[in-house]
């Protein structure tokens, strides 16, 4: 990559070939897989998001089979939200764009956390369930948009000393740079693990 007056070398990403997580003590968090971000006609479509749907379906099936709890974040905004001064109007509560995609519809036992900012912990009950109800310390974080809501949630988890695992084929970004940035930050700054595939993650 080059910027005016200089070029920047992208650091190597330390891929983990295998990550084993205990069933008791782990959870999966699905970030903002909503129509506005994933489906044609959405307000802020991430072009690669739809390509992750089959992958995420497989991961969630394995997690449910093992008894690993699943949480979803749901970007949620109302008329006059100041975030719409930064981004186009999106994920307005009650609209089609706000809904979680049908392919990943939460089940009654799953947790859905509506959030008004990028971070899934900010102003939600996510931490209460992780720490006090599910009593987990290991988080597999997937979803969209990699460098924004995925990364801010992973950062917030890392600051709380959760062990964070992010599979590259389970997240999607607006650009290749944003995808690399996310994986670099998770693996370096938050001492997490990144894998190339969800298949490298097992619940034992």
150 within some domain: yes
What's the mean pLDDT in 48-52?
Answer: 97
pLDDT tens digit string along 111-139? 999 999 999 999 999 999 999 999 999 99
Query: CB neighbours (10 Å) of residue 24?
Result: 12
Hey, what are 4's tokens?
A: 């005016």
- Decide if 122 is inside a domain: yes
Question: For residue 123, what are the domain limits?
Answer: 18-79+103-203
Looking at the domain assignment, is residue 1 inside a domain? Answer: no
Is 44 part of a structural domain of the chain?
A: yes
Q: Is 96 part of any domain?
A: no
Task: Classify residue 12: in a domain, yes or no.
Answer: no
pLDDT, position 103: 98
Q: Which residue has the higher pLDDT, 130 or 9?
A: 130
β-strand 26-31 against 19-21: which pairing, if any?
unpaired
We report the CATH number of the domain holding residue 51 as: 3.40.50.850
Interval 141-153: pLDDT, tens: 999 999 999 999 9
What confidence tens digit (pLDDT) does each residue in 61-111 have? 999 999 999 999 999 999 888 888 888 889 999 999 999 999 999 999 999
Instruction: Kindly state whether residue 167 falls inside one of the protein's structural domains.
Output: yes
Residue from 179, 168, 172, 176 nearest 201 by CA: 168
Return the half-sphere exposure (C-beta side, CA atoms, 13 A cut-off) of residue 173. Answer: 17
Instruction: Please give the residue that has the higher pLDDT: either 51 or 2.
Output: 51
CB hemisphere CA count around 62 (13 angstroms):
18
* Number of other residues whose CB lies within 10 A of the CB of residue 67: 10
Cα 22 to Cα 97: distance, rounded to the nearest angstrom: 35
Neighbouring CB atoms inside 10 A of 61's CB total 10
Domain count, the chain: 1
Q: Is residue 9 part of a domain?
A: no
Mean pLDDT of the chain: 94
Share of the chain above pLDDT 90, in %: 86
pTM to 2 decimal places: 0.94
């Amino acid at each position: 990559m080059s910027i005016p007056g200089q070029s920047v070398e992208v650091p190597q990403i330390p891929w983990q070939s295998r990550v084993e997580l205990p069933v008791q003590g782990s959870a999966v968090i699905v970030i903002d897989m909503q129509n506005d971000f994933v489906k044609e006609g959405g307000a802020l479509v991430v072009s690669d998001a739809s390509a992750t749907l089959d992958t995420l379906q497989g991961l969630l099936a394995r997690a449910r089979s093992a008894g690993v709890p699943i949480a979803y974040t749901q970007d949620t905004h109302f008329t006059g939200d100041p975030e719409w001064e930064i981004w186009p109007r999106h994920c307005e509560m009650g609209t089609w764009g706000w809904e979680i995609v049908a392919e990943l519809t939460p089940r009654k036992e799953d947790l859905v956390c509506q959030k008004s900012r990028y971070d899934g912990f900010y102003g939600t009950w996510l931490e209460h369930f992780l720490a006090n109800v599910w009593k987990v310390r290991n988080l597999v974080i997937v979803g969209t948009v990699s460098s924004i809501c995925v990364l801010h949630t992973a950062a917030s988890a890392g600051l709380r000393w959760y062990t964070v695992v992010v599979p590259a084929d389970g997240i999607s970004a607006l650009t290749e740079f944003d995808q690399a940035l996310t994986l670099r930050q998770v693996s370096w700054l938050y001492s997490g693990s990144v894998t190339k595939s969800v298949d490298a993650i097992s619940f034992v």
